[in-house]
């Protein structure tokens, strides 16, 4: 069944009415990835470019700061987005030394495209899928089947074709037998943080994010349900095949998986893989 798309947020003075614009399809996203690659951070000298899933934004900013303190000769440049889009940027030649994905599928694609070093791949974190509502919502959702009720009119989640949280969401809704009913109300998000923003602004009645994303806006969203997933929500990381700083990339991977790096991730709600 068709899903109701929504565009990325516009400035308040020019935002169009809800539902007025249609979200880009996966095909359009991949066409645009070449443009995105051109705008990705350029690496110079001892710059280390890390392309990481949007859900890692807060944790990896903290990791980068602590890594730079320990390695003052290295500047970590962070590039965040949907895992599949980041992978496609790397395929199209965007500079990147490290790729961190929010699911195994995106990393598997990177391996197939030969843009990461398979031997360097390792899982470094885990997460949970969460169903969230606006903090002031009067609706209740104790189970996924509740989303099929008519009072839930718009439900945000990532595009399953290009966003890991969308793939986890689709699998969970299919297992619950309500994918068709809920996808008909679907508001497509380009990444997990966009889904979070839609709920936080009250533009949708509910949305799917990772538990770590919900935790950064406790005053604007509330977790209605921790959602079981068909596959564990695990995060793999790997050195890219054309890294300009392979030794520093290996050192950064080692830091992420070290007790110190794991403590930073735990601070932001990530679980051990």
CATH code, domain carrying 99:
3.40.190.10
Residue 87 and residue 60 in one domain: yes
Q: Is residue 9 included in any domain, yes or no?
A: no
Give yes or no: residues 134 and 212 share one domain: yes
pLDDT at residue 261, as a whole number: 97
As for how many domains the chain has, the answer is 2
Helices 104-112, 164-176: crossing angle, 10 deg rounding: 130
What's the first-to-final CA gap in the chain, in angstroms? 34
Please count the CA atoms within 13 angstroms of the CA of 132 that sit on its side-chain side: 34
Output b/e per residue, 200-235; b: 16+ Cβ within 10 A.
beebbbbbbbbbbbbebbeebbbbbbebebeeebbb
Q: Is residue 240 part of a domain?
A: yes
Residue 180 inside a domain? The answer is yes
Mean pLDDT of each 10-residue bin along the chain, 273 residues long: 45 38 43 45 69 98 97 95 97 97 98 98 98 97 97 97 96 98 97 98 98 97 96 97 95 97 97 94
Structural domain harbouring 86: 27-126+235-267
Clarify whether residues 239 and 203 are in a common domain: no
Are residues 58 and 115 both part of a single domain? Answer: yes
Answer whether residue 70 is part of any domain. Answer: yes
In degrees rounded to 5, what are phi and psi of residue 48? -115, 115
172 located within any domain? yes
Same domain, 85 and 118: yes
For residue 98, being part of any structural domain is answered with yes
């Amino acid at each position: 069944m068709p899903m109701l798309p929504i565009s990325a947020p516009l400035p308040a003075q020019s935002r169009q009415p809800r539902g007025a614009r249609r979200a880009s399809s996966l095909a359009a996203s991949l066409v645009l990835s070449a443009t995105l690659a051109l705008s990705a951070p350029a690496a110079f000298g001892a710059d280390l470019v890390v392309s990481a899933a949007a859900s890692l934004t807060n944790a990896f900013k903290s990791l980068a700061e602590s890594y730079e303190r320990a390695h003052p000769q290295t500047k970590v440049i962070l590039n965040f987005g949907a895992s599949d889009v980041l992978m496609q940027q790397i395929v199209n030649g965007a500079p990147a030394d490290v790729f961190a994905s929010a699911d195994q599928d995106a990393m598997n694609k990177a391996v197939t495209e030969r843009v990461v070093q398979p031997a360097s791949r390792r899982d470094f974190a885990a997460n949970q899928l969460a169903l969230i509502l606006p903090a002031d919502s009067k609706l209740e959702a104790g189970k996924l089947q509740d989303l099929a009720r008519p009072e839930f009119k718009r439900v945000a989640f990532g595009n399953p074709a290009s966003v890991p949280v969308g793939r986890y969401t689709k699998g969970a809704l299919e297992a619950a037998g309500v994918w068709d009913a809920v996808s008909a109300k679907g508001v497509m998000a380009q990444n997990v943080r966009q889904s979070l923003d839609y709920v936080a602004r009250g533009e949708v009645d509910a949305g799917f994010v990772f538990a770590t994303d919900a935790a950064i806006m406790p005053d604007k969203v509330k977790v209605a349900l921790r959602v079981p997933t068909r596959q564990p929500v695990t995060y793999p990381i790997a050195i890219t095949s054309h890294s300009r700083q392979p030794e520093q990339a290996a050192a950064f991977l080692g830091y992420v998986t070290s007790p110190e790096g794991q403590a930073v991730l735990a601070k932001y709600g990530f679980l051990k893989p």
